[in-house]
Amino acid sequence: MTDRERSTGTVLNLCFHGIGTPGRNLEAEEGRFWVGLDQFDEMLSVIRGHPSVRITFDDGNASDAGVALPALAKWGLKASFFVVAARLGEPGSLTMGDLRELVRAGMTVGSHGMHHRSWRTLGRMALREELSEARRSIAVATGKPVTQAACPYGFYDRRVLSELRRSGFARVYTSDGGPARPHSWLQSRYVVQRQDTPEFIEDLACRPRGTFVASAVRMVKCSIKQLR
């Protein structure tokens, strides 16, 4: 159990997208979720001091393997990568070889679906393709079972969640922000944006939302810990 877990009973899940320069055409508004190379490195240097912060990546961008993997190795950190099955091998996206490299490095590879579309709006067959077929093809690529999923755009509803449960996923990530219980099936994440500073990430790591007064004490404790 980490310090944060002991004091708050929570973990902070961060969701990154791309790092550096995109190698594909981005969707509208997607650019604000791409962070700079130095910005990312500085954020990892902060995260390293907080074992209860979990790192995830969505969308399977090529920068996951080209930039994030060496940076994570440099700081001795692990992460989960949620990839879009139908994008594998496309320009700007991870290849199957990249996925195997991630797994070899001790990273977790999960599913972000087949075509990167909202699961909430899909009919039964299309939802099944997004959950079961995507999962199968990612498992074939990595040579490992896929047990975790992240909802595209963070969108979900009761039907999506029950289908994810029925499909046997052991953990599902959303983008609802705020802290999460370490062993919950549903894991909320904070989506990192270009405008975020390493100091802001540090603040998030130390201060669960909605508990401002109690968190002020924890922030001091966090700050003291960093000085040691």
Write down the least CB distance from residue 18 to Zn ion, Å: 10
Q: Which residue is nearest to Zn ion (CB)?
A: 58
Give how many residues touch Zn ion by CB under 5 A: 3
Q: Which is nearer to Zn ion, 59 or 130 (CB)?
A: 59
Distance in Å, CB of 151 to Zn ion, minimum: 8
Count of C-beta atoms within a 10 Å radius of residue 130: 28
End-to-end CA separation in angstroms for the chain: 20
CA 125 distance to own-chain centroid: 26
- Specify the stretch interacting with Zn ion by CB under 5 A; choose among 52-60, 71-79, 124-132, 140-148: 52-60
The type of residue at 2 is T
| Residues 202, 35 contacting (CB under 8 angstroms) | no
Helix (H) or strand (E) holding 114: none
Interatomic CA distance for residues 79 and 74, integer angstroms: 13
Report the residue number, 46 or 84, with the smaller CB distance to Zn ion: 84
Q: Does 130 help bind Zn ion (rule: CB under 5 A)?
A: no
Residues contacting residue 28 through CB under 8 Å, at least 6 positions apart: none
Q: Per DSSP, what are the bridge partners of residue 35?
A: 19
Measuring CA to CA, which residue among 99, 95, 93 is closest to residue 81? Answer: 99
Least distance CB 140 / Zn ion (angstroms): 21
Binding window for Zn ion (CB under 5 A); candidates: 47-55, 137-145, 147-155, 219-227: 147-155
Q: Please count the other Cβ atoms lying within 10 Å of the Cβ belonging to residue 140.
A: 13
Given 14, 40, 59, 191, the residue binding Zn ion (CB under 5 A): 59
Question: Toward Zn ion, which CB reaches closer, 58 or 64?
Answer: 58
Contact range with Zn ion by CB under 5 A, out of 58-66, 73-81, 174-182, 198-206? 58-66
Least distance between Zn ion and beta carbon 17 (Å): 7
Choosing from 11, 34, 54, 58, the residue that interacts with Zn ion (CB under 5 A) is: 58
Binding site for Zn ion (CB under 5 A): 58-59, 152
